[in-house]
Amino acid sequence: MAKHRFFGIDPARSSPETVAVIGLGRFGQSLALELMNDGAEVLGIDAREDVVQSLNGQLTHVVTADATSEQVLRQLSVPELDRVVIAIGSDIQASILVTSLLLRFRIPQIWAKAVSEPHGLILEQLGIHHVVYPEKDMGRRVAHMVLGSMQDFIEIDTDFAMVKTEVNPAYAGVRLGDSGIRRKHEVTVSAVKHRSGSWQAATEDTVLQAGDTILVTGPTRQAERFARSTS
């Protein structure tokens, strides 16, 4: 169910998913622009005129409005959308007011940015489906890279991660199926990039080489430990 009846969006046209992004600070802006890049239609809402002006023409629609007003959200047809992101952070009161309105509208998928654990807890208790902690998550990700044990780290869920790291020389020349990595480390090598090649899905027959970069998935602790063992 994707209805697109607000402003100039043509409901008859076969259109991609429409997403509303409420709050166009650094996080909201970068998210909204990436959604546009990915072919979504984006309704951006922010209380600040200058912010809205700066995004004019870059989003499908961008509107100056106070999103804590039910009337405003109804006028913008927000209750008809399937996906909304609340990207208001530091104004926790506004974040909670918008949250309660969207939950009342029964929007099927709501993402909300939290700036702290208590903020996130409140959003979860209210019933938000996806709470994201951009600062905390990015901090953890960069910490792993700074320590040099990983080239990249993405926590896919609270207890499952994907890690990009270099192959431990001890595994050079070893067929993945014979490496015992899964049994010993409880992680799976999902993809491999040889020094002069491109990324390829890993199979049991993939032979690791010194200098290869690998993508490893598994429970966060095990994935972290495995990456440390390669450095």
Q: How far is the CB of 134 from ligand ATP (least distance, A)?
A: 7
**45 is an interface residue for ligand ATP by CB under 6 A:** yes
CA atoms within 13 A on the CB side of 110: 27
Buried b (16+ CB within 10 A) or exposed e, 163-193: bbbbbbeebeebebeebebeeebebebebbb
Within 18-133, residue ranges assigned H as helices are: 26-37, 49-55, 70-75, 92-104, 117-126
Report the amino acid identity of residue 172.
A
**Binding to ligand ATP by residue 63, rule CB under 6 A?**
no
User: Is 73 a binder of ligand ATP (CB under 6 A)?
Assistant: no
Binding of residue 89 to ligand ATP (CB under 6 A): yes
- The Cα–Cα gap between 206 and 200 comes to 9
Query: For residues 202 and 183, what is the distance between their CA atoms, to the nearest angstrom?
Result: 16
Residue number with CB closer to ligand ATP (28 or 218): 28
d(CA 116, CA 164): 27
Please list every residue from 5 through 44 that binds ligand ATP, using CB under 6 A.
Answer: 22-28
Stretch of residues binding ligand ATP (CB under 6 A), selected from 32-40, 78-86, 90-98, 161-169: 90-98
The least CB distance from residue 28 to ligand ATP, in Å, is 6
Total residues contacting ligand ATP (rule CB under 6 A)?
21
**Nearest alpha carbon to residue 120 among 149, 80, 86, 78:** 86
**Closer residue to ligand ATP, CB minimum distance, 19 or 208:** 19
Instruction: Name the residue nearer to ligand ATP (CB basis): 96 or 181.
Output: 96
**91 vs 81: CA distance, rounded Å:** 24
| Residue 48 Cβ vs ligand ATP, minimum distance, rounded to whole Å | 4
Q: In the set 56, 90, 200, 229, which binds ligand ATP (CB under 6 A)?
A: 90
**Of the candidate residues 36, 47, 126, 207, the single one contacting ligand ATP (CB under 6 A):** 47
The residues binding ligand ATP (CB under 6 A) are 22-28, 45-48, 51, 66-68, 88-91, 94, 115
